[in-house]
A and B are shown apart, each in its own frame.
Chain A
Amino acid sequence: MSAIEFRGVSKRFGNFYANRNLSFQVKTGTIHGLIGENGAGKSTAMKALFGIYPLDEGEILVQGKPAKIRNPVHAMKFGIGMVHQHFMLAGTETVLDNIILGHEPGWIWIKRDQALSELKKISTLYGLHFEKWDHPVSSLSVGEQQRVEILKLLYQRSDVLILDEPTAVLTPQEVKELFQNLKKLKDEGKTIILISHKLKEVLEFTDAITVMRRGESVGTKVTAETNEDELAQMMVGRPVSFTYQGERKMFANASDMKPVVRIRDLSVESSTEPVKKVSFELRPGEILGVAGVQGNGQSELLRYLTDPKKFTKSAQGEYFFQGQDASHLGPLEIRAKGMGLVPEDRLSEGLLLQQDMTENFLLGQHQDSRYQKNGLLLRKKATEAVNAKIKEFDIRPPFTTVWSGRMSGGNQQKLVIARALDSNPSVLYVAHPTRGVDVGAIEKIHDAIVQERNRGKAILLFSSELDELMDLCDRMLVFFNGEIRSEYKRSEFDTWSIGRVMGGGDR
Chain B
Amino acid sequence: MKSNSISSLRFGTVGFASVLILSVLASVPAFAELKIGLVLERSGKDDKSFNASAYQGVKRAEKELGVTTKTVEAPDNSAYESLQRAFAEKKFDLIIAVGFHQLEAVKKNAARFPDQKFLLVDEDAKAPNVRSVMFEEHEGSYLVGALAALHAKGGKIGFIGGMDVPLIRRFEMGYVAGAKKINPKAEVFSNYLGVTGEAWNNPPKAKELALDQYTRGAEVIFVAAGNSGLGVFDAAAEKQKLAIGVDSNQNWIKPGFILSSMLKRVDESVFDSIKMFKDGKFTTGLIRYGVKSKGVDYALDENNAKLVTAADKKTLEELRADIIKGKIKVPDYYLVQKRK
Direct contact of A and B (CB under 8 A): no
Write the residues of chain B forming the contact surface with A, with a CB cutoff of 8 angstroms. none
Write the residues of chain A forming the contact surface with B, with a CB cutoff of 8 angstroms. none
